[in-house]
């Protein structure tokens, strides 16, 4: 079995993106550009883009700050929440350090309560996200997006025009289309790249602050990957895995690695950071920019929503389009919403799609890598 030790050269630029982003954000700060730190896919980025702010994804995927967080927060809390808070408390995340404002949303209980404490360290603004994708929910979310715009205007002394939001919508949609076109390369069988490489590219795009450049970079990389693929098929046919569940990243990249070390390949990420926030575009033809943004963002199929049909709809489509053999549902310890939802996802994948399903509970430690490998090897063997 071939273990991947080095990232193919074509992806290097993206692999370094987070580290390079540290320097870039400092430069941005020196130029007095407002920096807004975010944690979640529900944040309507176009509003901040319209005022020329830099949007940074805050550190939340490592166990290095969890011990410090546990001095203030309960131990049996989701590691993502503890890590986020710990990075803020210890000032170890350069993106947090440079943020003028952190914006959170009322997603899960742990996160929204954590923001109350994070607000003691940095200015934190919390958007009231409805828990239902109903008509009333949509009205509330639209109002919340307008309230965000007004808050940003007041805090930064700027005017955010609808024209500027419209322009930002076009830029962000282009980025989504380019990212989708890129990850769709994994529809090929055999795949032209490993899931580990695909993941690096998807994460890396978030740290390019000149967003106009993102589609061009992605398109360039896509063409290179395709050209290499046409010349030589680097990978043989393998069982094809889709990852769903809690956001994956940093410490939990161990799950992608375990899947690929044990003979399968990750062809699709339905979770946040993957298709969940990318697939739907903002409707550019809607003259009401706030309604268009509210519709797009509220439709995200996160388990914080009840019910959550959009996650099933997306899974349904992706399992077919990516010729998926098995679904891995990665759950972070103590994430109640995703954990409760595993039953409906299992039923859907097994009964409706007639595919194999496994749920895998993990945290940000390395102590369960052996166990994850054993479970993944057994799961893949069965496919």
Q: Pick between residue 259 and residue 332 the one whose CB is nearest to ligand BJ8.
A: 332
Q: Pick between residue 131 and residue 151 the one whose CB is nearest to ligand BJ8.
A: 131
Residues 92-111 that bind ligand BJ8 (CB under 6 A): 107-108, 110-111
User: Does residue 332 come out as left (phi exceeding 0), alpha (psi in the -120 to 50 range) or beta?
Assistant: beta
DSSP per residue, 286-343: -S-HHHHHHHHHHT---TTSSS-HHHHHHHHHHHHHTT-SEEEEEEETT-HHHHHHHH
Omega within 30 of 0 (cis) for the link into 190: yes
Task: For the chain, report the end-to-end CA distance as a whole number of angstroms.
Answer: 17
Q: Pick between residue 107 and residue 221 the one whose CB is nearest to ligand BJ8.
A: 107
Say whether 78 sits in a helix, a strand or coil. coil
- Under the criterion CB under 6 A, does residue 338 sit at the interface with ligand BJ8? yes
Determine the size of the site formed for ligand BJ8 (CB under 6 A): 20
Residue-wise burial string across 247-276, b where 16 or more C-beta atoms lie within 10 A, e elsewhere? bbbbbbbbbbbbbbbbebbbbbbbbbbbbb
CA pair distance 298, 305, nearest whole angstrom? 9
Residues 29-88 that bind ligand BJ8 (CB under 6 A): 40-42, 78, 80-81
Which residues are within 8 A (CB) of 128 and not within 5 positions of it... i.e. 6 or more apart? 105, 106, 140, 144
Residues 293-312 that bind ligand BJ8 (CB under 6 A): 300, 302, 304
Site string for ligand BJ8, 196-235 (x = CB under 6 A): ----------------------------------------
Q: Pick between residue 221 and residue 244 the one whose CB is nearest to ligand BJ8.
A: 244
| Axis crossing angle, helix 195-204 with helix 253-261, rounded to the nearest 10 | 160
Site string for ligand BJ8, 270-289 (x = CB under 6 A): --x-----------------
CB of 237 to ligand BJ8, least distance (A): 31
In the DSSP assignment, the letter for residue 185 is G
CB of 145 to ligand BJ8, least distance (A): 15
CA pair distance 323, 333, nearest whole angstrom? 29
Q: Pick between residue 325 and residue 329 the one whose CB is nearest to ligand BJ8.
A: 329
User: Does residue 36 come out as left (phi exceeding 0), alpha (psi in the -120 to 50 range) or beta?
Assistant: beta
- Under the criterion CB under 6 A, does residue 243 sit at the interface with ligand BJ8? no
- Under the criterion CB under 6 A, does residue 258 sit at the interface with ligand BJ8? no
Q: Edge-to-edge, what's the strand order for the sheet holding 326-332?
A: 265-269, 240-245, 326-332, 356-362
Q: Pick between residue 81 and residue 169 the one whose CB is nearest to ligand BJ8.
A: 81
CB of 300 to ligand BJ8, least distance (A): 5
CB of 140 to ligand BJ8, least distance (A): 17
CB of 268 to ligand BJ8, least distance (A): 16
Chain residues binding ligand BJ8 by CB under 6 A are: 40-42, 78, 80-81, 107-108, 110-111, 246-247, 272, 300, 302, 304, 332, 335, 337-338
């Amino acid at each position: 079995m071939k273990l991947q030790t080095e990232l193919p050269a074509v992806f290097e630029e993206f692999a370094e993106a987070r580290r390079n982003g540290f320097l870039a954000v400092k430069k941005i700060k020196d130029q007095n550009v407002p920096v807004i730190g975010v944690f979640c896919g529900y944040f309507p980025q176009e509003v901040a883009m319209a005022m020329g702010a830099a949007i940074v994804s805050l550190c939340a995927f490592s166990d290095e700050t969890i011990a410090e967080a546990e001095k203030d927060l309960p131990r049996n809390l989701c590691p993502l929440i503890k890590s986020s808070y710990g990075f803020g408390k210890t000032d170890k995340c350069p993106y947090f350090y440079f943020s003028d404002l952190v914006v959170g949303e009322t997603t899960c209980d742990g996160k929204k309560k954590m923001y109350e404490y994070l607000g003691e360290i940095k200015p934190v603004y919390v958007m009231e996200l409805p828990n239902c994708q109903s008509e009333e929910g949509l009205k509330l979310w639209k109002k919340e997006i307008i309230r965000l715009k007004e808050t940003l205007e007041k805090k930064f002394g700027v005017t955010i025009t609808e024209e500027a939001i419209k322009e930002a919508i076009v830029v962000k949609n282009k980025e989504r289309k380019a990212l989708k076109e890129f990850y769709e390369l994994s529809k090929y069988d055999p795949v032209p790249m490993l899931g580990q490489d695909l993941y690096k590219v998807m994460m890396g795009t978030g740290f390019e602050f000149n967003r106009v450049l993102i589609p061009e970079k992605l398109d360039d990389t896509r063409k290179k990957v395709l050209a290499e693929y046409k010349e030589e098929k680097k990978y043989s046919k393998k069982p094809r895995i889709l990852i769903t569940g809690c956001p994956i990243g940093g410490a939990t990249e161990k799950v992608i690695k375990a899947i690929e070390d044990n003979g399968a390949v990750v062809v699709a990420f339905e979770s946040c950071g993957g298709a969940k926030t990318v697939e739907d575009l903002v409707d550019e033809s809607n003259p009401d920019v706030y309604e268009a943004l509210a519709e797009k963002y509220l439709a995200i199929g996160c388990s914080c929503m009840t019910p959550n049909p959009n996650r099933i709809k997306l899974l349904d489509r992706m399992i077919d389009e990516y010729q998926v053999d098995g679904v891995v549902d990665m759950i972070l310890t103590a994430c109640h919403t995703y954990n409760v939802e595993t039953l409906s996802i299992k039923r859907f994948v097994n009964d409706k799609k007639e595919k194999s399903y496994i749920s895998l509970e993990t945290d940000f430690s390395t102590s369960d890598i052996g166990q994850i490998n054993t479970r993944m090897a057994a799961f893949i063997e069965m496919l």
